[in-house]
Structure 1
Amino acid sequence: MEGEGKLSIYRAARTIKRRENTLYNALRSIYDDSIFVGEIAQLWPELPLLANLRCGLWYAPKFHSGCYFKSTDGHTGNWSFNTSRLNLHVAHLAGQKGGCIIVDSTRKGKRFPDSMSKTIPIWTCVLNRAIANHRRKRQDHVKPMDEEPNTPAAHSHERDWDSSLHLPLWVSKTEKASIETRLEKWTEELELSGADIASLSSSLKKPLRQLWISQKTVIWLNEVPDHDSWDFTPIILVSASSSASTGLIQHRATSEFSWNYIPGAGDDEESWARGLSPELFWNNVYDIMNSGPDVCNRKVADMVEKDRVYRAQRGQDAPQVIVKPQKSLLHSSTSSSCVESLLSLDSLDVVDDIQFSEADSTVYWFGSTNTAVGSALAAANTTSVDCILNCDQNSISVGHLNTEAYLHLSMVNSKFDRFSLRSNLASAVNFAKLNLSKGKRLLVCCHNGEDISVCVCLAILTALFDEGGTFDDGKSFSEAKITKLDMRRRLVFLCKFATKARPSRGNLKQVFGFLSEGGDSVLS
């Protein structure tokens, strides 16, 4: 009886929690918090607004772009600077625009998530240190013959470029000291990763430094400084959620409905969104808000189904999609690598062309927030891609390609199958080798272009191309033992252009296992 009583209490608590975390409560909380985000964005309208994926993406109808700073990299005792999530496009963008605003939120009753309290401060500090090292080496290299090595002029750049660690006041001095002991190692890892520090140094005129803004921050509107007036490049961190004591329910009401506020409601969208995406939410936000708690679930289900049918009818989830040329982002004539953004879909998804060779052998990485089904085929038709490697669970109708030019390898994330990627990599690399050796152009795609297709491209790039990015049919791979550093350097190269890339640790481990074992002798 005692056990049954405890179980009943547990079930009752779960029932109450589910009742509080309804779909309407989550969406209404997001909408209210978005008003605050909009107000902050208007204080510095020149600065681009970025969403820290995935949670931050819910809190504004439109973002310039996204970034990926994980809170786990800032957890106490687990601090990390991860070279697979360099977010260098954020630093470049901040340098071009004079700063940027990053939006995120947290459920845990804190004012700021650990991604903002520690992960991003560690990131800015390591980048600043690497840039300072680069500038010192460059200055030493071009130092005038008559200048003494230890004169104030010789070291003025080190004083001007702030490379210290700036953490918020709520992070203890003990924790800060522990993080500082790791900074030199992280800086060395960044420098060894192959990241283009010289380009970062050219983009940034002032060192990066973060500022923190939450709903409890007091801002005097008549004293808001211009972002150009600071002696640093500001990374303004906006925590969208209203902080409250853990377990405290905030009851709110409008003239028509009452509801419960959920801090950080945008987090873990699979558990509550019922198929609703941020884009679909903002396209129908007023209709959803006016529907009220009683009919919200039915209203959202209807919207999700209509959107699915709408996309299918227009080929966005079928073998037709309208594409248009987009201006090339980068073309390097001084190296064997060339990267261009080729296509922009109607849904503003982007196909990034990663060309690893100065010859005809080309690998395309395909990225999409929707399924790859129709988009990959349209990309193949438009860019004269000769063959497709489809890593999505869904197949593609490719009547114009023969059986040797299309391979479907159904793969799932490591959370669902720890060996799904590993068991398919031999076939993927063999298919790539067969076609690239004939000078064909290969398209690699998956359901979202963020993880699996990136990892497959990483395996192909490492196994079939040399360090300079030239296709060599696996010769350099067969002659050397692949290390984690080798793979990390190639991943940094990929992520430089595939800014949406978010390869999971589990999938990267599968790629390294495949490569470190000689690629299962597929290249022998």
Structure 2
Amino acid sequence: MENPLVLLRKESLSVYNRLHSIAEDTLFIDDVHNTYPNLPILPNLRCGAWYTNPRVATNAPAYFKSTDGHYANWAFNLRRSNLHLLSLLEQSDGMVIVDSTRSGKRLPDALSKTLPIWCAVINHAIAHRYPDLHDHFKNWDYALYTPPISVSRQEHHQIEQRLDEWVDALTQSSFHLPLLRRPLRPIWLTPATSSFPIIDPPEDNVTGFFPIVCVSASHHISQGLERRTAGFTYVQGSGDDHELWGMGLTPAMFWDNKDALLATSSEELPNLISRLIAISKMSSSLPEDPPSPILKVKGHILVSTLLGVKSTKPKDDNACFLLLDSEPFIHNDTDSNTPESETSLRLSYTEGKKGGSHFLTAVLPRAVNFAYSQLQAGRSVCVACPDGKDISVCVAVAILQRYFSDSGESLLPHEYTNPITKSTIRSRLEWVIESRPLANPSRASLKRVNDFFLTPAHFQR
């Protein structure tokens, strides 16, 4: 007889159970959207994308990470500032953020703590950035709001004690903070919510708050699993960690083929998913992710995915392309770096310790030197890597640090001469994040950029 724990894990990781559980949870999201049709609905990456129909979702990334809300690890992370959402809030008078969580909780930490911290920090920071507008902030609500069902009074108080340091970090950053008409305030909904609150914008347009409706899509199940009469086992928070159960299926594939997937038996479902993935790989259509011009430097530097470059590559002479590919390379000056034309250069890198060393000592110097010649020739430089989030971002930061002033002005034909510090490098990263919100470089990659500027060459390895 099979071990009950093993059987439980099999049921939990069954792609059939997961997809049917997600489909059940989307009915609640439909109810929320129908209740607040005028509020844009955004999935919280990555889990929320499984529950949010792309046809109704707003094309603006929201990334509130649960780890920034874990107990004693609370943070307002400048690398995940989400400040691009503020203009959407001003336009729409609020928004809906969709996420989910696994058994044991009603709300994910991303919605119960990370997002409330974000609201409170922004409310304080805006007032700090505009100190002369006393009348505007006379009735401003600075309070931290957290859901009592998920956050104890003690934890709430501990988070409050950290707000000032996060506010200082944001106000001292290079990020632009718009003057909002009203402060932000989170509101929480779960399938257990008995009635939805009425949300109407204030008549005078300056009082009240911008509601951010935080929706946890999944039903709270004490053991995480519950059998349904429809023939599947309900798994709370099914959209989480899809690498463990999805067999390569993505949220986009799920929504494009939802009816077929849900109508297929558990025995045939893996074959259908394999066919869908194969079709997706053969498809000539490319995702809509055009290169992002860095606004602080008037678009002289852009960041992109490799696919984004292929789909939008301009044909004029005013742009060049620095293509960073993760294919294996040979540690040889000529073989590992292949110029494709006068205005296009491909640099190869790989993961791991050896790859990091090569990125520091070979890729970064060549990329920066190539950018110099192209910028001098009056061209913009588009830096691209497979995901457009990590390596390309770090290379762009290095170029921005070397050839642009702290105010974003070109220094060419000269280079940056003021003392380079972690703070000046971080400000360049903030320029990139502000123009490309999905930018999310790893700590290891950013450390290589710091080493490139701050560590003597003979110590680099």
TM-score (norm 2): 0.88
1:233 counterpart = 2:210:
yes
CA–CA separation in structure 1 for the residues paired with 2:18 and 2:39: 28
1:206 counterpart = 2:182:
yes
Structure 1: which amino acid aligns with 2:145? H
The residue number in structure 1 matching 2:424 is 486
The one-character-per-residue Cα deviations of 1:224-254 (angstroms, maximum 9, x if unpaired) are 3435478110011001111222x34211132
> What's the offset of the Cα at 1:18?
2.7
1:350 counterpart = 2:290:
yes
Mapped contact 2:76–2:117 kept (Cα < 8 A): yes
Mapped contact 1:426–1:520 kept (Cα < 8 A): no
Matches within 5 A, 1:474-513: 475-477=414-416, 479-513=417-451
CA–CA separation in structure 2 for the residues paired with 1:60 and 1:349: 19
CA–CA separation in structure 1 for the residues paired with 2:224 and 2:167: 41
Structure 1: which amino acid aligns with 2:74? W
The residue number in structure 2 matching 1:26 is 18
Mapped contact 2:319–2:343 kept (Cα < 8 A): yes
Matches within 5 A, 1:362-377: 362-367=300-305, 372-373=306-307, 375-377=308-310
Mapped contact 1:106–1:241 kept (Cα < 8 A): yes
Match of 2:221 among 244, 256, 270: 244
Residues 277, 485 of structure 1: CA spacing in aligned structure 2 closer, same or farther, 3 A cutoff?
same
Structure 1: which amino acid aligns with 2:455? E
Provide the identity percentage. Answer: 34
The one-character-per-residue Cα deviations of 1:438-491 (angstroms, maximum 9, x if unpaired) are 3233221111212221222112111221112223248453x3332222222222
Give the unaligned 5+ runs of structure 1.
Answer: 1-7, 140-154, 317-346, 396-400
Match of 1:110 among 105, 114, 117: 105
Match of 1:125 among 116, 120, 129: 120
Mapped contact 1:51–1:102 kept (Cα < 8 A): yes
Aligned residues: 441
CA–CA separation in structure 1 for the residues paired with 2:399 and 2:413: 9
SS in structure 1 opposite 2:291? strand
> What's the offset of the Cα at 1:292?
2.2
Structure 1: which amino acid aligns with 2:245? W
CA–CA separation in structure 1 for the residues paired with 2:113 and 2:50: 22
> What's the offset of the Cα at 1:113?
0.7
The residue number in structure 2 matching 1:166 is 145
Residues 91, 24 of structure 1: CA spacing in aligned structure 2 closer, same or farther, 3 A cutoff?
same
The residue number in structure 1 matching 2:160 is 180
The residue number in structure 2 matching 1:13 is 5
Structure 2: which amino acid aligns with 1:160? N
CA–CA separation in structure 2 for the residues paired with 1:274 and 1:409: 31
CA–CA separation in structure 2 for the residues paired with 1:189 and 1:20: 41
> What's the offset of the Cα at 1:404?
3.9
SS in structure 2 opposite 1:486? helix
Give the unaligned 5+ runs of structure 2.
Answer: 329-338
Mapped contact 1:481–1:516 kept (Cα < 8 A): no
1:61 counterpart = 2:53:
yes
The residue number in structure 2 matching 1:389 is 322
Mapped contact 2:96–2:213 kept (Cα < 8 A): yes
SS in structure 2 opposite 1:510? helix
TM-score (norm 1): 0.78
The residue number in structure 1 matching 2:410 is 471
Mapped contact 1:355–1:364 kept (Cα < 8 A): no
Match of 2:132 among 102, 116, 138: 138
CA–CA separation in structure 1 for the residues paired with 2:288 and 2:202: 31
The residue number in structure 2 matching 1:380 is 313
Residues 187, 355 of structure 1: CA spacing in aligned structure 2 closer, same or farther, 3 A cutoff?
closer
> What's the offset of the Cα at 1:394?
5.5
Mapped contact 1:356–1:471 kept (Cα < 8 A): no
Match of 1:272 among 245, 250, 254: 245
Match of 1:218 among 172, 177, 194: 194
The residue number in structure 2 matching 1:101 is 96
Mapped contact 2:304–2:383 kept (Cα < 8 A): yes
Structure 2: which amino acid aligns with 1:281? F
RMSD over aligned Cα, in angstroms?
2.8
